Amino acid sequence: MFSNDQFSGINSVIISPTQSFLNPNPWDVNLLAADVFIQNDYGYISQQSFVGLKSAEIESSNIKKNRTGENTPNVFDFYNKEIGNYHFSSDVLGPSFQLKIKMKEKDWSAGLFSRLRTQSSALKVDNYLRFGNQDLLEPELYTLKPLKISFMNWSEIGLNVATEIFPYSAYQWIIGGNLKYAIGLDALNLESKSPFQLSRTSIDINGISEKSIVASNYEIAASFATNYNFETEKYEYQQRGKGLGLDFGLTLVDPSSDAENYNFKASFNVFDVGFINFQGENHLLKGSPIQLENNPTLKNTKFKSPQQFLQLLSKEVYGDENASLQGTDFKMGLPTSVHLNLSKNIREHHYLNAKWIQRIPMFENSLKRSNIFNVSYTIQKAVIGYGGSVSLYEYKSLQFGAYLRIGPLILGSENIFPLIVKQKKLHSGDFYIALKVYPFWDNDMKRHRRKDCYCK
d(CA 425, CA 41) in angstroms, rounded, equals 10
**pLDDT at site 332:** 97
pLDDT at 446 over 70: no
Residue 448 has pLDDT above 60, yes or no: no
Give per-residue pLDDT as tens, 298-323: 877 888 889 999 999 999 999 999 99
pLDDT of 348 higher than 70 = yes
Residues 6+ apart with CB under 8 A from 138: 128, 131, 132, 198, 200, 211, 213
Model pLDDT, residue 125: 94
Instruction: Tell whether the model's pLDDT for residue 223 goes beyond 90.
Output: yes
pTM (2 decimals)?
0.91
Provide the 10 A C-beta neighbour count for residue 310. Answer: 20
- Residue 235 and residue 228: Cα distance in Å, rounded? 4
- Identify any residues that bridge with 311 across adjacent strands, giving them in sequence order: none
Average pLDDT, the chain: 91
**Confidence at 173, pLDDT banded by 50, 70, 90:** very high
More confident residue, 452 or 66: 66
| Residue 439: per-residue pLDDT | 79
What pLDDT, in 10s, does the model give residues 39-96? 999 999 999 999 999 989 999 999 999 999 999 999 999 999 999 999 999 999 999 9
pLDDT, tens digit (0-9, with 9 covering 90-100), for 74-87: 999 999 999 999 99
Could you count the other beta carbons within 10 Å of the beta carbon of residue 238?
7
pLDDT score at 451: 53
What confidence score (pLDDT) does residue 444 get?
53
Question: Is residue 230 scored above 70 in pLDDT?
Answer: yes
Res 382: pLDDT: 85
Asked if the model's pLDDT at residue 447 lies above 90, the reply is no
* Measured distance CA(159)–CA(10) in Å, rounded: 11
CB 27 within 8 A of CB 100: yes
Share of the chain above pLDDT 70, in %: 95
| Residue 388: per-residue pLDDT | 96
Other beta carbons less than 10 A from residue 197's beta carbon: 14
User: What is the band of 415 on the pLDDT scale with cuts at 50, 70, 90?
Assistant: very high
pLDDT classification of 153: cutoffs 50, 70, 90: very high
pLDDT of residue 440: 57
CB 223 within 8 A of CB 329: no
By CB neighbour count within 10 A (0-12 exposed, 13-18 middle, 19+ buried), where does 322 fall? exposed
pLDDT in tens, 180-191: 999 999 999 999
450 pLDDT above the threshold of 70: no
Residue 320 Cα distances to 239, 313, 317, 328, angstroms:
30, 9, 8, 18
Per-residue confidence at 337, pLDDT binned at 50, 70, 90? very high
pLDDT, tens digit, 9 for 90 and up, residues 101-145? 998 889 999 999 999 999 999 999 999 999 999 999 999 999 999
Using CA atoms in the order 224, 228, 229, 231, what is the torsion angle rounded to 10 degrees? -90
